[in-house]
Structure 1
Amino acid sequence: MTTFTRPALTSLITGLAIALSGCDSPNTNPDNGADAQGHSAPSATTITHNQQVSKQLPFSDQQDFIDAERGLVASEDNLLITDQKGNVVWNQNAYKFIKGKAPASVHPSLWRQAKLNNKHGLFKVADGLYQIRGYDLSNMTIIEGDTGWILVDPLTTIETAERALTFVREQLGDKPVSGIIFTHSHVDHFGGALGVISEEEAKSGNIPIIAPAGFMEESTSENMLAGPTMARRAGFMYGRDLAISERGHIDTGLGKAPAFGTISIVAPNTIIDRTPQTLTVDGVEMIFQNTPGAEAPAELTFYLPKQKAFCGAEILSRNMHNLYTLRGAKVRDALAWSSYIEESRNLFSDAEIYFASHHWPMWGKDNIDSFLKLHRDTYKYIHDQTLRLAHQGYTPREIADTIEMPESLNKSFSNRGYYGTLRHNSRAVYQGYFGWYDGNPANLNPLTPTESGKRYVEAMGGAEKMLLSAQQAYDKGEYRWVAELLNHLVFADANNHDAKQLLARTYDQLGYQSESGPWRDVYLSAAYELRHGKPAEGLDLSTARGMIKHAPLENFFQVMAAQINGPKADGLALTINFTFTDLNETHVLQLENGVLHHHKQDPKTDADITLNITHDLFLDIALGTADMKKTLFSDQLSVEGSKLDLVRFFSLLEKQTDPFDIVSRQ
């Protein structure tokens, strides 16, 4: 669990001192002005870069601030949410320092977005339509029905959702929950479900629970197979170990940060699988649009005719979104995404209010139409221009450095790269069509980073010469080149302290110059780990038990197959019946040729082992909350066949428990 720290002291004074002195060399007392986590002061190059940005964008435009504050009903001044053990789940208070002009260590446009995302509380959007914002990464929308509250996207965790609904009821009345809508299959839009209704209420069927087709499958499976890698990378993307400060984490661009608490899910009883699809929920008419395979594998938008209000879910937000997310995921279809927005624009052309799963609403038919056109054309432009350049032979790296948005698409703050960026989204389009190989044979079978690093160091005349060259480039503000150069040196020798320190200072500057919240967090997290090492522990998956227990058993066995150590399993053949006594369901596992297959079927009579186990105990084992050997030899389950063979089988499973190296190889 992450406990966020208080903001560090401002870096503006030290940054200006560096600029006025003309000193940009980290060799001159390199730790001078470092914050509590060791992040260096912004260099003169960074200060100049961020000052120039301030002159290029229309910061005098205050309409977003007017919209973000419109309709405020009430807000909590001390918004700190903890779990039952006292661990911090959400700390809006930590961001109070984000006000006034941007410090030299933050891109001014990102600072502006962070100030807007600081606006929190309960807001009236229209009669019978409210939003509570700033209690999580996402918003929870509240629609007044005939008998109660219809809740849209009940946040990430039970703790944040419960606190948000409590505040809503304090302000608007203690009405029951009369409906729930999950707009899509990402956890920040459903994880708090059991914070707003009980399991008994969910199972009763009396409350309409609405979700897009494929919701349960996608929401429970997205992170399972790729989970350990994705979780580790997500720590970088969201700055999990960074202090919340002027030189640390300030915002994701999409919202402040993910909440770290207890995750749940409830199964929908009403599915949206076509467009348009009209439902009446607790007396409220809603028209739904099914939008699978764009921002999320399963997603919907909807329209409220009474209020003339359109919910864009997350296919629309106040930033350029990700066609590829840095935590790692399958690339998203830019062309489909653009088409859905155009479909929304035509289907809900009478909309006078726009609201969504993140950020603040918009009012006015013309404003909404322009907004939809802007985002429609953004994703299609990236798609089309990436292909145009690829057809000319440009590689992904070259396209990312070449492609530019036209002025007509680049003038709005709502389209800036606060979350996704033009550079990495163009790479996503290329990857979607052409994969990882750029066509250059030198990149077909390259050396490993460690081996390549050693050769680069040798070719440049040794570590000292390489470090000197990097220092000279750093002094010129050539930070991208310094990062590329020193990455080779650090991978060649993870114990080279000077190289790691200079690379860390380089990542500091790249982070300070980033308009994207995730880019900033990735760079600064890399700098943090170069200075302090990787985390001792990974994420605690037991907090997600409430969601994982709903995953199909097939998903668990797919994960198990990906955990088999193939070389160790070579020559071993086993057939195992996994019989779940409380589900009356059996999965037959067959291990041969170092590969694990599974089939849901009747038990094999000639199996080497039959394991009779309850679903709950199986979850304990899968989540690592049960002692394997004690469990296998206890009376909590029964084993027919050789327990030693079963222990041998489980010994072949490699579970990633410790965080792996990212910025170097120890």
Structure 2
Amino acid sequence: MKSKKSIMKLIVMSLVLSISLYAAEEPKDASSFTKEKNAQVLKDLPFSDTQDFTDAKKGFIATTPELIIKNDKGEVVWDMKSYEYQMGTGVPVTVNPSLWRVAQINSLNGLFQVTDKVYQIRGFDISNMTIIEGTKGLIIIDPMISAETAKAGLDLYYKNRPQKPISAVIYSHSHVDHYGGVKGIVDEKDVKSGKVKVLAPSGFLEEAVKENVYAGNAMSRRSFYQYGSMLPRNPKGHVDTGLGKTVSSGGNVTLIPPTDIIKTTGEKRTIDGVQIEFLMAPNTEAPAEMLMYFPQFKLLNTAEDATHTLHNLYTLRGAQVRDAENWWKVLDEAVARYGDKTDVVIAQHHWPKWGNKEIVSYLSNQRDAYKYLNDQTLRLINKGYTMNEIAENLKLPQNLDQDWALRGYYGSVSHDIKAIYQRYLGWYDSNPANLNPLPPEESAKKYVEYMGGSAAVMKKAREAYNKGDYRWAAEVMNKVVFAEPNNTAAKNLQADILEQLGYQSENGTWRNEYLMGAYELRNGTPKITATTASPDTLNAMTPDMILDYFGIHIIGDKANGKKMVINWEEPNLKEKYVITLENSVLVYRKVNSFGNADLSMTIPKESLLGIAGNATTLDKEVQAGRAKVTGDTSKFNELLETFDSFTPDFNIVTP
């Protein structure tokens, strides 16, 4: 049944690609305009400053030869060998030199000693895994995305250090690259028994689940663009994401719920002889996030709030807009609390920084950048400038702009400004002409007609391309592609244009976005099976979250006219819900006792998800003794028949 299959797609975490390639043009060389623009970058930025290379190599102990990590099916989850082409000294003309610089640093991988008793695994995933040696065991901070990469990292540590057991795991925040590998290093039985503690910031579990489930299908699809997952790894393809190489894919993404929640700034814990003080950072890089200070080591862990890039206030894969005001205030509090007593700062991406004076300057510049963007964007908003006008003209002050740690490798000044605008004013610029525009395909056809037809537009677009006016050429060719999606010549021209924009991009995610667009214009939309919601993520859903997600699946027209009331008791949690379908809306209410209903069922939430996912049936659950029902069981099947199906292979660069 189509409706049941839609939920089943959430039961398996995978990044399996089935690609049907069309006859396509190969990637082009860099144009003379791209070569000129990239050459100018070498003149404009302080490439003679190589301190970051020195810092990134400091404390290196060992790495894994080849560094190709596979899952239990023999499929590659992580492959650093494919980036060996970046180890040369010359900058390819198809890569922005600044992006090439950070890509080379991010290619450094292995086990590193940060300071006494503090180690990091870097280059085994997009994120770092920090390992702190306690009196009897290890404290692990952020076990990466996949169980396979986390295990490989811990195995490398054990080959070079004593094999102490794990005492605790700390999740710095609610993004999957900071918790997904936990079961690769910890047995959940040890957590439930109290042998291993799991710490996380307040709101962690709710935010981790919501971000990966509610809009997870769309986020999965968009992530292929942001991370360039399908691009070949060469100078004309995938280079980096700015925050790290890329994300591990096809691995086992896991989650163990926290046993200790950190709620307020200043809270302290002593774990296995290691003292930790926490600084809460909600709604900065993640809705639930915290920084950590270790007084014994004079070490500050900034989680993801201060790395070696201007970060995202809006992530291109899609997520809630982040709060620049709160971000700068958290960094300022970190400087005020710990600045004069910190000798080393680490983050869960990139490489450490040493020296008190250097650290205070680094954190202060990071703080100032977010405050500058926030304040100046609001200033120009109040002068009547629109989002795109501000993004086009506002730049960081020269001192901040020349700071390597604030270059736009992952975030960018442009889309951070747009995020601030969106946070305060939303999508509408107050121009009534933009209040209710035509949908893209219909609008494109009229644009092309008004401009004299596709042949005339393409002629002018080629002229713009030949002049290096790629941004404008991309804008007009997008109209032709949406007006005539079967026009191969138009798609190939648009691919050529996007490709040059990608070659010029300093931002790793912008490059990936442009090159993925070019790839799909030439090759078509691939068949993708992917989801951000792993089984552990789904199992962590509360009954409220499950019912919210069921509501998201309702097809309004298909549910029109249907009415039903279902009583549901979750036996393990002892919680009761009355679920009503009416007006094509699924409404639920937590109650103390039930009234009359079409169907009453007592069933665990895991079984309910299994039924919706076609892994079992209500009858089977009853027969197995896991469920009890009274009333009309056909009502539940009738509800499932209204569910929509989501597949992460919808079109992006074509209608």
TM-score by structure 2 length? 0.93
Q: Distance in 2 between matches of 1:483 and 1:584?
A: 57
Distance 1:97 1:625, change over 3 A: farther
Q: Deviations over 1:504-556 (max 9, x none)?
A: 111111111111111111111111111111121230467x1122211212111
Q: Distance in 1 between matches of 2:611 and 2:309?
A: 41
- Which of these residues, 150, 154, 161, is aligned with residue 161 of structure 1? 150
Aligned-pair identity (%): 42
- Which of these residues, 201, 208, 219, is aligned with residue 212 of structure 1? 201
Q: Deviations over 1:47-102 (max 9, x none)?
A: 11111111111112110000000011111121111111111111111111112222
Q: Which residue of the partner structure matches residue 395 of structure 1?
A: 386
Is the deviation greater in 532-541 or in 183-192?
Answer: 532-541
Q: Distance in 1 between matches of 2:202 and 2:94?
A: 44
Say if 2:85 is the partner of 1:97. Answer: yes
Q: Which residue of the partner structure matches residue 415 of structure 2?
A: 424
Gaps of 5+ in 2: 1-13, 18-22
Say if 2:266 is the partner of 1:292. Answer: no
Q: Which residue of the partner structure matches residue 114 of structure 2?
A: 125
Q: Which residue of the partner structure matches residue 652 of structure 2?
A: 662
The 5-angstrom pairing of residues 639-650 of structure 1 reads 639-650=629-640
- Which of these residues, 574, 584, 590, is aligned with residue 600 of structure 1? 590
Q: Deviations over 1:255-284 (max 9, x none)?
A: 011112111111222222122122211011
Alignment check: 8 A CA contact 1:583 1:615 kept: no
Equivalent position amino acid for 1:660 in 2: F
Q: Distance in 2 between matches of 1:657 and 1:279?
A: 44
Q: Distance in 2 between matches of 1:541 and 1:307?
A: 36
Equivalent position amino acid for 2:57 in 1: E
Q: Distance in 2 between matches of 1:462 and 1:333?
A: 44
Alignment check: 8 A CA contact 1:232 1:538 kept: no
Alignment check: 8 A CA contact 1:286 1:304 kept: yes
Q: Distance in 2 between matches of 1:191 and 1:588?
A: 33
Alignment check: 8 A CA contact 2:83 2:107 kept: yes
Q: Distance in 2 between matches of 1:224 and 1:118?
A: 31
Is the deviation greater in 586-595 or in 102-111?
Answer: 586-595
Q: Which residue of the partner structure matches residue 331 of structure 1?
A: 321
Q: Distance in 1 between matches of 2:610 and 2:334?
A: 44
Alignment check: 8 A CA contact 1:588 1:603 kept: no
In structure 1, the residue corresponding to 2:73 is in which secondary structure? coil
Say if 2:338 is the partner of 1:348. Answer: yes
Equivalent position amino acid for 2:408 in 1: G
**Deviation for aligned residue 1:578:** 3.0
Distance 1:3 1:362, change over 3 A: farther
Distance 1:208 1:567, change over 3 A: same
- Larger RCO (alpha carbons 8 Å, 6+ apart): 2
TM-score by structure 1 length? 0.92
In structure 1, the residue corresponding to 2:169 is in which secondary structure? strand
The 5-angstrom pairing of residues 548-559 of structure 1 reads 548-559=538-549
Q: Which residue of the partner structure matches residue 75 of structure 2?
A: 87
The 5-angstrom pairing of residues 175-194 of structure 1 reads 175-194=164-183
Q: Distance in 2 between matches of 1:185 and 1:299?
A: 7
**Deviation for aligned residue 1:630:** 8.9
Q: Distance in 1 between matches of 2:631 and 2:432?
A: 52
Alignment check: 8 A CA contact 2:15 2:530 kept: no
Q: Distance in 1 between matches of 2:421 and 2:374?
A: 9
The 5-angstrom pairing of residues 95-494 of structure 1 reads 95-99=83-87, 100-260=89-249, 261-349=251-339, 350-494=341-485
Q: Distance in 1 between matches of 2:641 and 2:35?
A: 54
Equivalent position amino acid for 1:342 in 2: D
Equivalent position amino acid for 1:531 in 2: R
Alignment check: 8 A CA contact 2:492 2:521 kept: yes
Equivalent position amino acid for 1:207 in 2: V
**Deviation for aligned residue 1:640:** 3.5
Q: Which residue of the partner structure matches residue 610 of structure 2?
A: 620
Distance 1:632 1:495, change over 3 A: farther
In structure 2, the residue corresponding to 1:579 is in which secondary structure? strand
Q: Distance in 2 between matches of 1:269 and 1:581?
A: 22
Q: Which residue of the partner structure matches residue 32 of structure 2?
A: 44
Q: Distance in 2 between matches of 1:195 and 1:567?
A: 44
- The alignment covers a number of residue pairs equal to 634
Is the deviation greater in 532-541 or in 359-368?
Answer: 532-541
Q: Distance in 2 between matches of 1:60 and 1:644?
A: 72
Alignment check: 8 A CA contact 2:16 2:528 kept: no
**Deviation for aligned residue 1:205:** 1.8
Alignment check: 8 A CA contact 2:220 2:532 kept: no
Equivalent position amino acid for 2:295 in 1: P
Q: Distance in 2 between matches of 1:129 and 1:181?
A: 14
Q: Distance in 2 between matches of 1:519 and 1:587?
A: 45
Is the deviation greater in 270-279 or in 137-146?
Answer: 270-279
**Deviation for aligned residue 1:612:** 4.1
Is the deviation greater in 288-297 or in 625-634?
Answer: 625-634
Distance 1:198 1:337, change over 3 A: same
The 5-angstrom pairing of residues 502-541 of structure 1 reads 502-540=493-531
**Deviation for aligned residue 1:632:** 8.8
**Deviation for aligned residue 1:618:** 2.5
Distance 1:331 1:391, change over 3 A: same
Distance 1:603 1:234, change over 3 A: farther
Alignment check: 8 A CA contact 1:319 1:417 kept: yes
Q: Distance in 2 between matches of 1:420 and 1:621?
A: 41
Say if 2:565 is the partner of 1:575. Answer: yes
Q: Deviations over 1:365-392 (max 9, x none)?
A: 0000000111000000110111111111
Q: Distance in 2 between matches of 1:320 and 1:511?
A: 19
In structure 2, the residue corresponding to 1:185 is in which secondary structure? coil
Distance 1:258 1:183, change over 3 A: same
Gaps of 5+ in 1: 5-29
In structure 2, the residue corresponding to 1:538 is in which secondary structure? strand
Alignment check: 8 A CA contact 1:577 1:603 kept: no
Q: Distance in 1 between matches of 2:593 and 2:238?
A: 52
**Deviation for aligned residue 1:309:** 0.9
Q: Deviations over 1:275-296 (max 9, x none)?
A: 2122211011122111111111
Q: Which residue of the partner structure matches residue 27 of structure 1?
A: none
Alignment check: 8 A CA contact 2:408 2:507 kept: yes
Q: Which residue of the partner structure matches residue 21 of structure 1?
A: none
Q: Distance in 2 between matches of 1:628 and 1:468?
A: 59
Q: Distance in 2 between matches of 1:431 and 1:502?
A: 32
Q: Distance in 2 between matches of 1:582 and 1:268?
A: 19
Distance 1:621 1:254, change over 3 A: farther
Alignment check: 8 A CA contact 2:217 2:531 kept: no
**Deviation for aligned residue 1:155:** 0.9
In structure 1, the residue corresponding to 2:86 is in which secondary structure? coil
Alignment check: 8 A CA contact 2:109 2:121 kept: yes
In structure 1, the residue corresponding to 2:506 is in which secondary structure? coil
Q: Which residue of the partner structure matches residue 57 of structure 1?
A: 45
Q: What is the root-mean-square deviation in Å for CA atoms of aligned residues?
A: 2.0
Equivalent position amino acid for 2:537 in 1: M
Instruction: Give structure 1 regions of 4+ aligned residues with deviation exceeding 6 angstroms.
Output: 627-636
Is the deviation greater in 145-154 or in 607-616?
Answer: 607-616
Q: Deviations over 1:192-223 (max 9, x none)?
A: 11111101011112323221111111112222
Alignment check: 8 A CA contact 2:78 2:149 kept: yes
In structure 1, the residue corresponding to 2:529 is in which secondary structure? coil
Q: Distance in 2 between matches of 1:529 and 1:291?
A: 38
Q: Deviations over 1:329-374 (max 9, x none)?
A: 1111101100000000010021011111010011100000000111
Equivalent position amino acid for 1:549 in 2: N
Is the deviation greater in 604-613 or in 211-220?
Answer: 604-613
**Deviation for aligned residue 1:400:** 0.8
Q: Distance in 2 between matches of 1:564 and 1:540?
A: 19
